[in-house]
Structure 1
């Protein structure tokens, strides 16, 4: 199964200089909980923005056009088809996890979307690609807990792709 997972502000912003423009530990915990023991797919710039290291307890696929790219502990793939083939044979969930071009490339193939919406506007340079919400049904919505560590109001949303009527 292919799923996308991301956090965005209320304007759709997802990044600033290949990093998150906010600090929201509960969203990072959610990301960890969802992706552990699964696979995450990201672009090279996103990978480098995370310190060029794979996250523990999950497989990491780095997408790049650079045929000479190498990073310790990750799978490097160069095409959408390679990732789709991998996901088809992987027994867990393959999570698309950024950046914007990678999301745009894989949204048509995703079955589930996990979106954290931060009810605040930040400054940045990268927005999530346009989603045709007519093709999706919200199957879960939960308010995040705001506290000293998690200063912004936020919510977790899960969407399932609608089955095309015949």
Structure 2
């Protein structure tokens, strides 16, 4: 089997904010539906703090790999890895077992910084707002490295705090 695609999925404000106080600083029902559709059935890699923001249990229908430096940390229904590299190896095994071709990286901040160096694909929800007092940021997307291949403008829905743009970026061939 070929190596699975490593995809980052993220919602990010115009000023780069992805989080505040251990949560997302917006409510985007439209985006959550897209997130669920893209990630369902696929392995997800997530940092421990981000995992905790889910309420401390795995999102349904996706095998989870939680990255933590705490060797004693464990949680029912998830696999644990000490590094992103280790998590990707576990993710590859889980993808093969599930017969899927993509592993999603769900954050948080430091995981994204490390993963963007190796990701094949970025699934980005651009939140059309500047968010004050964010405490977690997404790294800048370098147009020399990633080419935007798709975009969909999404007006603010009834249950959305802001309008968004869904964009897909593919790593350029070296």
TM-score normalised by the chain length of structure 1: 0.93
* Partner of residue 24, structure 1: 28
CA distance in 2, matches of 1:102, 1:125: 15
Q: Which runs of 5+ in 1 are unaligned?
A: none
Q: Which runs of 5+ in 2 are unaligned?
A: none
Q: SS of the counterpart of 1:33?
A: helix
Q: Aligned pair 1:144/2:172, yes or no?
A: no
1:2, 1:87 within 8 Å by CA — same for their partners in 2? Answer: no
* Partner of residue 63, structure 1: 67
- Structure 1 residues 4 and 87 mapped into 2: Cα distance closer, same or farther (>3 Å)? same
* Partner of residue 89, structure 2: 85
CA distance in 2, matches of 1:54, 1:69: 15
CA deviations on 1:72-98 (whole Å, 9 max, x unpaired) are: 111111122212323444242111111
CA-based RMSD of the aligned residues comes to: 1.3
Q: How does 1:54-133 map to 2 (within 5 A)?
A: 54-89=58-93, 90-91=95-96, 92=100, 93-123=102-132, 124-133=134-143
Q: SS of the counterpart of 2:31?
A: helix
How many residues align structurally?
164
CA deviations on 1:89-138 (whole Å, 9 max, x unpaired) are: 42421111111100111111110000001111223211112332211111
Q: Aligned pair 1:42/2:39, yes or no?
A: no
1:7 Cα shift? 0.1
Which aligned segments of 4 or more residues in structure 1 are displaced greater than 4 angstroms? none
